[in-house]
Structure 1
Amino acid sequence: MEFKRITNIEDPNFKKLHDLMGQIFPPEEVLEYELWKEPLEDPSIRVFVAVYEEEVVGATEYRYYPDWNIAMTDFTIISKPGLSLGRFLAENRLKDLKQLAAQNGKELFGMFAEIYDPYRVEHHEFGGVKVMDPYVRREVLSHLGYKRLDLAYVHPSWENNGEAVSGLDLCFMPIKEEIAEIPASLVRDFLTTYYSVLSNKPQKWLDMVEKLAAKETVALLPL
């Protein structure tokens, strides 16, 4: 198994990856093919695929924010069982992020992720891939150390149509397990920066961000 970074839309592995995303994720979660050009060339956005026998069988996209010393996991794809793909991707991602934090003179503070809540929304089947089942994913991410932010969360649709996407939790994995809350300003600033690429923000998202501005901290709850 190889852990290969993609930095160009012309990379043959990117076509395989984008096809895989279309099979796994609902349309509102997948950025159009051509719109990937700039993100892939952005050094702060790290897109890696797991290549097994010349086939893209898994992937993860994430980014590191040196000013806040945090990361965001954009997505993880596991397309086949029996290859220990989850462990392979998680370990290689964390190793890379710890190196980036060390280059920044720090120890990584933690990592955000959006996680589907299948107890509220049951229609996400992820292309029928059982290892991507939302119930399984939620428990795996809990095992990794992710905690749910005490926040009624929505995010803008990646189709940039002004719709608010619900049915997810914003979670955070603190590197130090004893951390029970994080600054609300960090959450607000992160979300504002992360979704700056989308021009058409839904009012529910704007209201959520405004509420964060009035808080000091956000509690981290069990997932």
Structure 2
Amino acid sequence: MDYKRIISIEDPLFKKLYQLMQDVFPAEEVLAFDLWREPLEDPGIRVFVAVADGNVVGATEYRYYEDYNVAVTDFTIIGKPGLGIGRFLYQKRLEDLLGLAAASNQSLYGMFAEIYDPYRIEHHTFGGIKPMDPFVRREVLSHQGYKRLDFTYVHPSWINDGEAVEALDFCFLPFDDSIRQISSDLIVRFLKRYYAVLDKKPQSWNQMIETLGTKDSVDLLPI
């Protein structure tokens, strides 16, 4: 497999990636095709695909925020079982992120990720691809060391219609196993920056941010 970065919607591989996203994710989680132009051209947003025999069989999008010294995994897609795609993407992404942190003379503090709670959601099939099943994905994150942040999480729909997307947990992977909680201020600043591109946010999201702002820290709990 090859690990290739996509930086333009004109890249033939992006069309294949976009189809894969549509096959796997619910509509409210997929940004419109044309709206991908600016994110792909943004040097801070890293979109890579796993390519086998000319086909996009997996993908991952992530970002590193040098000023916060944290990363976020936007999504990971495993398009086919039995190819070792998950491990391949994990290793390549981690190698890249550690390099980015080192280039800024830092040791990566941790990484955020959202994960559906399969105990609260039943109607998403994720394209019928078993490795994308919410139960499987949740256990994979747990094995990697992610912890669930102890607050009720919602995020604005990527359709930008002001609707709230629920049944999700917001998680954090600390690169120091001794960390048991992280700063609420870090979470608030990160979420405001991350979702700044969406001008329509649900009131429940605003309330969540306001509530987080009253706390000093948030506990990290087992997934």
TM-score under structure 1 length normalisation:
0.99
Superposition deviation, residue 101 in structure 1: 0.2
Residues 1:166 and 2:166 are matched in the alignment: yes
Equivalent residue number for residue 38 of structure 2: 38
**What displacement does 1:122 show?**
1.1
Residue 10 of structure 1 corresponds to: 10
Aligned to 1:179: 179
Aligned AA (1:19): Q
CA-CA distance at 1:150 after TM superposition: 0.2
1:53-68 matched pairs, under 5 angstroms: 53-68=53-68
What displacement does 1:190 show? 0.2
Compute the displacement of 1:28 (Å).
Answer: 0.0
In structure 2, the partner of 1:219 is 219
The one-letter amino acid paired with 1:83 is: L
CA apart distance, 1:131:
1.1
Within 5 A, what are the aligned runs for 1:64-103?
64-103=64-103
- Say whether 1:127 aligns with 2:113: no
Please name the residue that 1:117 is paired with. Answer: 117
Runs of 4+ more than 3 Å apart? none
What secondary structure does 2:153 align onto? Answer: coil
Distance 2:51 2:176 in 1: 31
SS in 1 for 2:75: strand
C-alpha distance in 1 between matches for 2:179 and 2:83: 33
Instruction: Tell me, in whole angstroms, the C-alpha distance in 1 between the residues paired with 2:218 and 2:175.
Output: 17
Question: 2:216 is aligned with what amino acid?
Answer: E
Cα offset for 1:177? 1.3
- Match of 2:28? 28
Q: How many residues align?
A: 223
Deviation at 1:114, TM superposition (A): 0.3
How much does 1:197 deviate?
0.2
How far apart are the structure 1 equivalents of 2:128 and 2:70? 32
Q: CA deviation at 1:178?
A: 1.4
Secondary structure of 1:166's match? Answer: strand
Mapped pair 1:206 → 2:206 = yes
Q: 2-side partners of 1:31 and 1:25: how far apart?
A: 11
Q: Distance in 2 between matches of 1:52 and 1:76?
A: 16
Aligned AA (2:152): A
How far off its partner does 1:124 sit?
1.2
Letter in 1 for 2:179: I
1:142-197 C-alpha deviation (Å, 9 max, x unpaired): 00111000010000000000101100000000111111000000000000000000
Task: Give, in whole Å, the separation in 1 of the partners of 2:94 and 2:185.
Answer: 24
Percent same amino acid among aligned pairs? Answer: 64
What is the match of residue 145 of structure 2? 145
The gaps in structure 1 that reach 5 residues or longer are none
Q: TM-score, normalised by structure 2?
A: 0.99
Q: For 2:204, give the aligned amino acid.
A: K
Query: Which residue of 2 is the match for residue 197 of structure 1?
Result: 197
| 2: CA distance, partners of 1:183 / 1:169 | 17
RMSD: 0.4
Letter in 1 for 2:208: M
